[in-house]
Chains A and B, each alone.
Chain A
Amino acid sequence: MTSAAMPQTSRRKTAPAGPAIRLVGLSKRFGETTAVDSVDLEIRSGEFFSMLGPSGSGKTTVLRLIAGFELPTAGVIELDGKDVSARAPFERDVNTVFQDYALFPHMSLIENVAYGLRVRGVAKAVRRQRAAEALEQVQLGSFLDRRPSQLSGGQRQRVALARALVVRPKVLLLDEPLGALDLKLRQQMQVELKELQQELGITFIFVTHDQEEALTMSDRIGVFNKGRIEQVGTPEEIYERPNGPFVANFVGTSNIFPGTLGRSLYGRDDRFSVRPERIQLRPLPPEGPGTGIALTVTALVYLGHATQVRGTLPDGTTAVALIPVTAGRGGEFAVGQPAVLSWNRQDVVWLPPAS
């Protein structure tokens, strides 16, 4: 209870001074393709850091570089201030939870979890004891002698977690570990993972393409695109103040309005974005749009908790607004009908000009 109550303070106190991981000019090329393009990144000790991006954005490659499964083409990887760029995986104090869990099929659960201790030369009785405790911690204490093939996806994932944590790594790397689970289980595991991380105070680096997952779990998020990091920040910063159209669009849905509209409304030539849930929409009054912008509704999508209204501005820009069900106004709009769009000045996020 205490660890859950004050995770922030307890973590800050125990954390060493320097960053857990520092990447400097890290690049990885596979033949002609550049998977990672000179990435600079510092991951703080004890934080839950998510690497978010579409598939092929280089986030998994960065994780594999940190683990040591790939060696960088250029750049430096520092772990706790020490350069580990050229070290083999078994020489690095980081452990990985694999996307396919990578449990050893010929070993029982307890043998799987004890494996890291076994290759470190820990005595059999001790390592079995610690492995059993680790399995207990992930609620699999009664399945010690089962084989991985006898488990469900969620259980395998817990074994993989126990196996990586039992050797007490400085940093835990998680490669889309929730990707294969169904929605309910995934949401439950998100909470459990976050609690576990706060309890242990270990640095977690979590790779995901699911922006919601990244937003709910992370202390900080790094958004990857085409082998580069677009933006690093807290979930609030990433969501509320995206630094470019890619982040604005990838993290949640965004309306991106052109510079011409910026000029006519605010006297500024830049593009800007407004989140759909910050947009107010009302039917077009007979006297004209007044303070808002006229739009033609092109689609209505019922989402359960809200209704998404899509439309087109006179200049061809598409816009999306989210009408909460509690507002009870979804019925006021119909495809092909005009409506009026407006938003508050403080919800405007200016985007830097595209380079």
Chain B
Amino acid sequence: MSVDIRPADAAPGRPSRQALSALLYRRGRLRLAGLLTAPAAWLILVYIAALSALLITALWTVDTFTGKVSTTWTLDNLIQVTTDPVYQTIALRTLRIAVLVTVVDMVLALPIAFFIAKVASPRWRGVLVVAILMPLWASYLVKAYAWRNVLAEGGLLEWLGISSPGYSEAAVVIALSYIWLPYMILPIHAGFERVPDSLLEASSDLGAKPLATLRLVILPILVPSIIAGTIFTFALTLGDYITAQIVGGTTQMLGTVVYANVGAANNLPLASAVALIPIAVIMAYLLIVRRTGALNNL
């Protein structure tokens, strides 16, 4: 009964694989390259290439006879989008809806997230997080149509004896607030989880009433989480066109304009120019947020 004991470096199996592992261990740059090549290529393709294409297309025109995009360079689309009162009105309305949705979601998400993270028992916490996520399992379209059934004339709201907003901007705000709410709750909930209970107790211990604790301790610590949430709700609302059509009726948003120009009007360059507006708005928002120093503590 002899037992075969070999030294580890002569272990049976795949010496080539071991050599590769050893090589990667010694060469840090090679390891990094292997790790990042695929995702970096993907990012360049998606972000840089797609965005550049968008910007370039906005500088072209459509041949009115053939309906084909002609690669003649012009600033007409950008000028039209920024100066035409119709586009200005739509842009301002979209911005207003996005701000309202963000504010409504923030007001709703803060107490819900606080309850889940700090009040509910650990067993309930999991259940509630799943409950928050559950609407995301349902189709976006189904939820939008469900809200139409509630809000439209002759819908559930009127049946309950409450005056209905009908197909309107208000209906769009209500429906979008509902649809994007989880994207606001989740980052704020994560933020609350990171605030130790002892901080809230310390504040109270030092004489702060609950509102003072909220203002001086909770909100400042949660600012990065709240901003993360607002970026979601704000950006998602700026780009929406389906809910606007389903519950908004004739309420035009930037998304619906893009959609109409790509489809019915067959004017891809103008659609690109319109699509640049939300990008510019979001960039401006991020710059403002950065300037306030709110992201320094991320």
A residues within 8 Å of B by Cβ?
67-69, 88-90, 94-96, 98-100, 102-106, 115-116, 118-120, 163-164, 167
- A-B pairs with CB below 8 Å: how many? 65
Contact between chains at B201 and A96 (CB < 8 Å): yes
Cβ of B71: which chain A residues have Cβ within 8 Å of it? none
Interface contact B206-A163, CB-CB below 8 Å? yes
Chain B 19-40 interface 0/1 with A at a Cβ cutoff of 8 Å (1 = within): 0000000000000000000000
Scan B195-207; emit 1 where CB is below 8 A from any A CB, else 0.
0101101111111
A102 with B199, Cβ < 8 A, contacts A119-B212, A119-B216 known:
yes
B88-125, CB < 8 A from A: none
Contact A116 B207 (CB under 8 A): yes
Question: Contacts of B207 on A, CB cut-off 8 Å?
Answer: 90, 116, 119-120, 167
The answer to whether A115 touches B203, judged by C-beta atoms less than 8 angstroms apart, is yes
Supply 18 A–B pairs (Cβ within 8 Å), ascending by A: A67-B201, A67-B205, A69-B204, A89-B205, A90-B204, A90-B209, A96-B201, A102-B202, A103-B202, A104-B199, A104-B202, A105-B297, A116-B207, A119-B203, A119-B206, A119-B208, A164-B205, A167-B207
Judge if B67 is at the interface, Cβ distance under 8 Å: no
* Contact present for A95 and B205 (CB under 8 Å): yes
Interface size on B, residues (CB 8 A): 18
Q: Are B196 and A115 in contact (CB under 8 A)?
A: no
Of B198, B199, B208, B220, the contact of A90 (CB 8 Å cutoff): B208
Q: Which residues of A contact B216 (CB under 8 A)?
A: 115, 118-119
Given A118-B216, A167-B207, A96 and B221 touching (CB < 8 A)?
A: no
Output the least CB separation between A255 and chain B (Å): 41
B297 touches A98 (CB 8 A): no
CA–CA, A102 and B204, complex, Å: 12
Given contacts A89-B204, A106-B297, A115-B208, 13 further A-B contacts (CB under 8 A): A69-B205, A88-B204, A90-B204, A90-B207, A95-B206, A96-B202, A98-B198, A104-B199, A104-B202, A104-B217, A119-B207, A119-B209, A120-B207
CB neighbours (8 Å) of A120 from chain B are 207
**Nearest CB of chain A from residue B112's CB, rounded to whole Å:** 23
A167–B212 CA distance with the chains assembled, in angstroms: 17
- Chain A residues, CB < 8 A from B202: 96, 98, 102-104
Distance in angstroms between the alpha carbons of A95 and B204 in the assembled complex: 10
Query: CA A99 – CA B220 in complex, angstroms?
Result: 23
Q: Which 8 A-B pairs rank lowest in CB-CB distance, beginning with the nearest?
A: A116-B206, A102-B198, A102-B202, A119-B208, A89-B204, A106-B220, A98-B198, A90-B207
A164 neighbours in B (Cβ, 8 Å): 205-206
Minimum CB–CB distance from A280 to chain B (whole Å) comes to: 49
Q: Which residues of A contact B212 (CB under 8 A)?
A: 119
A111 nearest in chain B by CB position = B216
Closest residue of B by beta carbon distance from A106: B220
Contact A100 B201 (CB under 8 A): no
> Judging by beta carbons under 8 Å apart, are A167 and B206 in contact?
yes
Instruction: Tell me the complex Cα distance, A141–B76, Å.
Output: 64
